[in-house]
Every structure is written in C-alpha cells, then in structure tokens.
Amino acid sequence: MRTSLPIISVIFSAIVVTTAFAQPGSGDDGSQARKRYLPEYTKSGELILPKNYHEWVYVGSPLTPNALNGGKANFPEFHNVYIEPGSYAIYKKTGKFPEGTIFFKELQLTLPGQNPDGSRTEASGRGYFPGKFNGADVTVKDSKRYADTGGWGYFNFNHHEPKAPTATAKPNNECAFCHRASAKKDDIWTQFYPLLDN
C-alpha cells in the first residue's frame, strides 16, 4: 500500500486541479461569466477593427456569386460571419443580443470560375471555393449610439485587402435599411445562421 500512495496522491492532485479549473465563475446568476470583447473607438468615434475575430464563434458563410446574379451581385463574396463569444453566450441563454454585441463579416472572394455559372471543378466536385480575403464589414449593437439605424452600427473596413484600421458608421439608407426590412430577428439575418435561429 505504501508504494501506491504517491500514485494516489498524484491522481488526487490532478482531480483537484481539474476541478478547480472547471468551477464556474461568479456571474450575476451564479453561472460562469465569460469575459466579453467590447467595441473600441477612436477619440473621433471611429470603430477600431476588432482583434482576434478568427477565434470568435463562426456562424456561417452566405454566398451570392456574380455569375448567378447577372454579373452584378451586391455581395459576390463568401460572407464568413463571426460573433463575439461572450455576446453569443448571452444570446444563447436569453434569446437576445446584448448591448455591445459585435458581428464580424469577413469577405472572401471565390476562386475563378471554370463554368458559365462561375463554378469550378475540384477534387471534391463542382462548386464554389473560397479564394482571397477581400475586406470586412462589422455590425455593433448600441441602442443609444446607433439609435438612428435601429440600434445597430454598420461599418465597412474596405472592400479589399488590407482591411482598414478604423471605420465610420454607415448612414441609415445603406446597410441598416436592408437589415431592418428583411432580417428575421433584431435586424440580424438569423434565418441564414442555424446557430442563431432559435
């Protein structure tokens, strides 16, 4: 029994350490409080390009290629959409996007087409395949700051690379108009993102 005591001690220590890291933090409701990344602005009020968005929760990639839209698609790229993780956790719990929610939409061109419909054939079959990154759009929820655009601010960080370091909010007659008219929930296109369509 004496020879097995060190082994038991090691196992017990591992359990204690694992349990300690697994314990939930103290949120207002006793659940784990995830630290949120909130919007950052310049002194003049421009939104600063969010950081580490590739580590956020990926929700989907709608695509409306030029070749299927008479060569004039409004949004011809893949829209790789991410939501800030802390905001996503609150949304899944409450069904509402909290103030400070950030959606990051990275634009990504398709690889050049080989067929009239813009598709190409690769080892996996015929379809549309992602190519170069092509800028980004960002949406921020702030009911006071963006009251004129339905409580959401809409930003473009270039429609090409590199992405701009900062961006100003778009007026109501641009992004907000379409979102307010056609998006399913709280001006967000949840109908295209199963992770959000609850």
Provide the β-strand partners of residue 140. 102, 153
- Proportion of the chain above pLDDT 90, given as a percent: 69
pTM of the model: 0.81
Domains defined for the chain, CATH in brackets: 52-112+127-198 (3.50.70.20)
- Residues 129, 109 contacting (CB under 8 angstroms): no
Per-residue pLDDT tens digits for 52-87: 999 999 999 999 998 899 999 988 999 999 999 999
Q: Supply the pLDDT for residue 175.
A: 82
- Residues 109, 134 contacting (CB under 8 angstroms): yes
Question: Which among 25, 45, 44 is positioned nearest to 33, based on CA atoms?
Answer: 25
Can you list the positions of beta strands (E) in the chain? 47-48, 57-60, 78-83, 102-110, 120-122, 125-127, 130-141, 152-156, 166-167
d(CA 31, CA 36): 15
d(CA 137, CA 176): 13
User: Rounded to 5 degrees, what are φ and ψ at 37?
Assistant: -95, 115
Is the pLDDT assigned to residue 173 strictly greater than 90? no
Per-residue pLDDT tens digits for 4-21: 444 444 444 443 333 333
- Cβ-based neighbour number of residue 190 at 10 Å: 18
- Residues 79, 62 contacting (CB under 8 angstroms): yes
d(CA 39, CA 135): 18
d(CA 184, CA 5): 61
